[in-house]
Chains A and B, each alone.
Chain A
Amino acid sequence: MGTTLLFHNRFKKIGWILILISIGFQLYPMIFKKYLITRYVYVPVLFSNYMFKNFRETFSIHPHDIDLTVFLTLSILGCLLVIFSKEKIEDELVSNIRLTSLIWSVLISYMLFLILTMTIYGTTYLLVCLFNIYTIPLVYLIRFNFLLYKNSFYTRTDEQ
């Protein structure tokens, strides 16, 4: 018995490394005032247009700013690996905690999104939509690790 849709435990470490790299990728230009990689790279484009330019392209290869693309790709991949990796011993209590945390995170994420939708307007709302994708992994990781810690804490303090 057990959840089969999970990666091996070693992928958790790789996930955290990817998350750290993506954060470093965003912090580096802020601290050192220069970019780690060339920002404008020829990339395959499915669809692209800009709000204030009369410009539109479909199914082509064009130079684009990949700063946000790299950050989002690395961080989303990292989050997926961390969340969907097994614990060292993946038993039914851990599966139960996993399910509870997932329900919590989806519920909180949508509640927050609902509140922000009703209260934030203008271009800032686009940022809300973008960064809302991190609410589910963030709440999940906090809740999941908190419950695991709480359980191990009770076990430590309980007599044998």
Chain B
Amino acid sequence: MNNKIKIERAVNNITQDQLAQLVSVTRQTINAIELKKFVPSTVLALKICKVFNKPVEEVFFLEDEDFPTQIN
């Protein structure tokens, strides 16, 4: 799963630290999500989207590798 958190942060002029405080997690967690090293829970994803005032599918989106290989 990919995300646009870094872009949204830049648009809203919010640092990783500020976003982390707004959603009650550590800065490390925000950084890990941005680097695609950690997939957040639905609750955390919704909290992040609420900060940016955007629907969840505009910030988080699935990639091809998230779908299992289809057998023909």
Contact = CB atoms under 8 A, between A and B. Distances in A.
B25 A93 contact: yes
A160 interface: yes
Contacts, number: 40
B2 interface: no
Contacts of A93: 25-26, 28-29, 32, 38
Size category of the A interface is 10 to 19
A93 B44 CA distance: 11
A3 B39 CA distance: 18
B28 A152 contact: yes
Given A160-B15, A160-B16, A160-B17, A92 B44 contact: yes
Size category of the B interface is 10 to 19
B32 A151 contact: yes
A155 B16 CA distance: 9
B43 interface: yes
A96 interface: yes
Given A1-B41, A154-B35, A92 B17 contact: no
A154 B26 CA distance: 13
Contacts of A94: 26
A92 B32 CA distance: 11
A57 interface: no
A94 B24 CA distance: 13
Nearest to A89: B26
B29 A92 contact: yes
Interface string B33-46: 00100101101100
Interface of A: 1, 89, 91-94, 96, 148, 151-152, 154-155, 158, 160
Interface of B: 15-17, 24-29, 31-32, 35, 38, 40-41, 43-44
